[in-house]
């Protein structure tokens, strides 16, 4: 079949310039135009999508690291120099060779950081059925961060009414939800964040019982002792390092730690050592690393749970939206300097 009638378009992409060690810089990425055919090849199962929203995730930092050639996992994970980076996003099908998707369908899942992507749908691509809520929410509240908060808190931490919960990076994509889930579960919840503005948000918008600005605390352990005189039952770990040390000092017996990220450590050439792990033995603590992508079987249960709250305005979700793909690199790098207030994402286009 001849390619008669195929329309092509400019496709701007966010490209990795070099592997990163230490803090990433905007100059580690650059924008470059390519040209893309706006049709999938005949017979292909692929879907050509127009990207609407891209999620900025701390995990991208790990993928910018030079891969260890002896580790297949590391090689599989790493971005490639000279190619567009990728992540989770919300997109609209423009042309589809896949039986499950037709033109105009909305979906979320893995896409490239570019205006248009050709994707091969996998079980980690989800068709969007509920469009009465902001589409951008599928990068956060209704996407991976939401599922992370849900499975991490309910499945991994097994909260009981009256327990005490501490959340680090509490105003972030995941943390702002964990606080609200903890209140729903009848827990006492405290969060830490990187500015007084965020601390204020925690207390006024996200229902946190208390909160502190970790940058203004000289002694993190003392700050936790002030907030939790009886100790911490559940820690939702997003940062690692010094904060983890302080939390271990303040955990209660049989405490649970759900670890979905350790953002404070990703850019350090010499990560901070945690010297008090014997506490895990003394206090019989459980630490569970987890990734929401392994809980996609819970996604529809999660949506059923969370959508009514969203529609009734009983869950608040704050987004920090960078406008245009060209502002993607600074939005992504800003995560590592705590620049975002709430879930950071990039709006590439509005439908």
Binding residues (CB under 8 A) for a copy of itself: these are 62, 73, 240, 244, 253, 259-262, 265-266, 270-291, 294
Which tokens belong to 205?
A: 């918008």
Query: How many residues does this entry show for the chain?
Result: 351
* Residue whose CB is less far from a copy of itself, 2 or 76: 76
* Residue whose CB is less far from a copy of itself, 61 or 343: 61
Q: Which class for 161: exposed (0-12), middle (13-18), buried (19 or more C-beta within 10 A)?
A: exposed
Q: Phi and psi of 282, rounded to 5°? A: -55, -40
H helical segments located in 81-129: none
CB of 293 to a copy of itself, least distance (A): 10
* Residue whose CB is less far from a copy of itself, 32 or 222: 222
Residues 302 and 158 sit within 8 Å (Cβ to Cβ): no
Q: Of 350, 253, 348, 351, give the one whose Cα is nearest residue 54.
A: 348
Beta bridge partners of 54: 89, 346
* Residue whose CB is less far from a copy of itself, 4 or 281: 281
Report the distance separating Cα 329 and Cα 267, nearest Å. Answer: 16
Q: Of 7, 8, 13, give the one whose Cα is nearest residue 348.
A: 13
* Residue whose CB is less far from a copy of itself, 25 or 286: 286
CB of 266 to a copy of itself, least distance (A): 7
């Amino acid at each position: 079949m001849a390619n008669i009638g195929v329309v092509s378009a400019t496709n701007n992409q966010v490209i990795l310039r070099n592997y990163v060690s230490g803090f990433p810089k905007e100059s580690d990425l650059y924008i470059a135009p390519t040209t893309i055919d706006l049709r999938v090849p005949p017979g292909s199962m692929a879907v050509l999508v127009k990207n609407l929203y891209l999620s900025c995730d701390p995990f991208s930092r790990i993928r910018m690291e030079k891969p260890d050639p002896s580790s297949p996992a590391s090689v599989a994970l790493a971005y490639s120099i000279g190619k567009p980076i990728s992540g989770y996003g919300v997109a609209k099908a423009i042309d589809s060779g896949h039986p499950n998707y037709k033109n105009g369908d909305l979906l979320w899942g893995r896409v490239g950081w570019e205006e248009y992507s050709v994707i091969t749908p996998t079980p980690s691509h989800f068709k969007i059925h509920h469009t009465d809520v902001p589409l951008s929410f599928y990068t956060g509240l209704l996407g991976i961060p939401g599922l992370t908060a849900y499975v991490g808190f309910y499945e991994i931490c097994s909260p009981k009414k009256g327990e005490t919960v501490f959340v680090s990076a509490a105003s972030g994509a995941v943390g702002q939800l964990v606080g609200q889930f903890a209140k729903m579960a009848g827990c006492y919840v405290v969060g830490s964040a990187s500015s007084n503005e965020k601390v204020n948000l925690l207390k006024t918008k996200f229902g946190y019982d208390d909160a502190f600005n970790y940058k203004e605390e000289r002694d993190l352990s003392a700050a936790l002792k002030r907030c939790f005189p009886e100790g911490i039952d559940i820690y939702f770990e997003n940062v690692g390092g010094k904060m983890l040390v302080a939390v271990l000092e303040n955990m209660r017996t049989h405490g649970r730690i759900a670890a979905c990220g350790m953002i404070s450590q990703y850019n350090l050439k010499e990560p901070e050592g945690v010297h008090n792990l014997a506490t895990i033995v003394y206090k019989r603590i459980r630490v569970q690393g987890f990734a929401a992508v392994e809980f996609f079987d819970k996604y529809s249960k999660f949506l059923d749970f969370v959508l009514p709250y969203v529609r009734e305005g009983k869950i608040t979700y704050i987004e920090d939206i960078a406008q245009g793909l060209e502002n993607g690199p600074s939005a992504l790098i800003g995560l590592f300097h705590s620049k975002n207030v709430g879930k950071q994402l990039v709006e590439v286009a509005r439908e």
